[in-house]
């Protein structure tokens, strides 16, 4: 079963990336409450949505941690891991700036912009360069 359609792996990734980008990633990133209503969450009375989004974010953070530990311990996939980190830090900067401009987040979240910028700079400084 594993690898049954190996020759189509690239096509699978392309189709999956396109579909999840359009149907899930962009809508949930740009308009999370509208997305939540569309899929059946009851707003604003349901606190369960906040738990759901928190668990989703936590799951992605755990995935990032896995890749960072793997790269650190085995030197495997160093550059893709740094690319992943750089993208996460950049989007976290954007998300926190939007929250600050809209004045919809606690002050600690606005101050966190500096943390994400520092991580982005450190990631750039430690970027693995092939010799």
Task: State pLDDT tens for residues 80-118.
Answer: 999 999 999 999 999 999 999 999 999 999 999 999 999
The structure tokens listed for 47 are 């606190």
Whether 77 is in a domain gets the answer yes
Task: State pLDDT tens for residues 25-74.
Answer: 999 999 998 988 898 888 877 789 888 999 999 999 999 999 999 999 99
Map tokens 């579909």 to a residue. Answer: 19
Whether 1 is in a domain gets the answer no
- pLDDT of 130 over the 90 cut: no
Q: How many CA atoms lie within 13 A of 59 on its CB side?
A: 6
The pTM of this model reads 0.84
The count of structural domains within the chain is 2
Whether 28 is in a domain gets the answer yes
The structure tokens listed for 91 are 């989007």
Whether 2 is in a domain gets the answer no
Residue 18, domain extent = 10-46
């Amino acid at each position: 079963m594993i690898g049954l359609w190996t020759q189509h792996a690239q096509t699978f990734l392309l189709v999956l990336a396109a579909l999840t980008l359009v149907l899930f990633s962009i809508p949930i990133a740009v308009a999370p409450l509208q997305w939540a209503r569309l899929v059946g969450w009851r707003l604003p009375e349901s606190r369960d949505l906040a738990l759901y989004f928190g668990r989703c974010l936590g799951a992605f953070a755990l995935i990032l941690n896995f890749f960072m530990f793997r790269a650190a311990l085995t030197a495997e996939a160093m550059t893709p891991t740094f690319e992943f980190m750089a993208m996460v830090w950049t989007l976290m900067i954007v998300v926190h700036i939007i929250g600050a401009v809209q004045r919809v987040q606690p002050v600690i979240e606005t101050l966190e912009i500096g943390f994400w910028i520092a991580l982005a700079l450190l990631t750039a400084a430690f970027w693995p360069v092939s010799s």
